[in-house]
């Protein structure tokens, strides 16, 4: 991996985040966004290593995938941050001296990682798709379970509300499991993460079911 190019990309990203008015006034969001970016870059590097992609290019793409957070999104702006990120990244990538076709692949991956759409022509290569795959895989990390349960006020729910909540969560997770990925490696990582979530919520659901009655042991073993 070309560490010089990676370090220059890290510096570019951090400088953009340092200049961001919104992130400057929301330090926790700024810290989270940078931490998330590094996790995505590490996931992307793992995908690249296993799939034979250029690791340097993938790490750079992932480091820049959320660079548009340096801007104030405004109303409905979040949906555009992939496309806007590609526009911000392009001149920087050109300054690194990367070949034109690699810049296009990186920019297209950044552009489509939010809603699968770009505002310029491009090819949905396995490399480009891997930027969004790495981002999605990180959304199913251990900390996010705590964050989701806290945000949804799980502890304040009554028992029946918890049961309904967990049933809906498990149904959604099983649908998520079928989401397509760009590579076999991403498929393995994705299924591992989502199945970890399903296992956790299955256990939490079983705990809720055992909280108000004596269960039929024979039935529960099925």
Residue 87's pLDDT band, with cuts at 50, 70 and 90, is very high
CA 192 to CA 196: how far, in whole Å? 6
Containing 105, the helix (H) or strand (E) segment is helix 100-112
CA angle 121, 127, 130 (to 5 degrees): 105
Classify domain 3-138 by CATH architecture: Orthogonal Bundle (1.10)
140 DSSP assignment: T
Its pTM stands at 0.89
How deeply is 177 buried, as exposed, middle or buried, from its count of CB atoms within 10 A (0-12, 13-18, 19+)?
middle
Residue 175's pLDDT band, with cuts at 50, 70 and 90, is very high
Q: Report the percent of the chain where pLDDT is more than 90.
A: 82
Indicate if the pLDDT at residue 3 is higher than 90: yes
């Amino acid at each position: 991996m070309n560490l010089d190019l990676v370090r220059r990309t890290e510096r570019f990203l951090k400088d953009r985040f340092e200049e961001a008015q919104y992130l400057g006034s929301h330090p926790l969001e700024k810290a989270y966004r940078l931490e998330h970016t590094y996790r995505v870059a590490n996931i992307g590097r793992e995908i690249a290593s296993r799939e034979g992609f250029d690791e340097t290019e993938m790490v750079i793409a992932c480091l820049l995938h959320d660079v548009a957070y340096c801007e104030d999104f405004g109303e409905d702006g979040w949906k555009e941050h992939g496309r806007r990120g590609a526009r911000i990244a392009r001149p920087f990538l050109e300054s690194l001296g990367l070949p034109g076709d690699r810049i296009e692949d990186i920019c297209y991956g950044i552009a489509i990682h939010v809603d699968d759409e770009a505002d310029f022509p491009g090819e949905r290569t396995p490399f480009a798709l891997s930027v969004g795959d790495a981002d999605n895989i990180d959304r199913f990390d251990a900390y996010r379970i705590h964050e989701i349960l806290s945000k949804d006020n799980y502890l304040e729910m009554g028992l029946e509300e918890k049961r309904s909540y967990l049933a809906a969560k498990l149904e959604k997770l099983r649908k998520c499991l079928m989401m397509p990925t760009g590579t076999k490696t991403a498929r393995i990582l994705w299924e591992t993460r989502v199945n970890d979530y399903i296992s956790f919520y299955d256990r939490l659901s079983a705990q809720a079911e055992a909280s108000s009655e004596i269960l039929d042991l024979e039935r529960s073993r099925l």
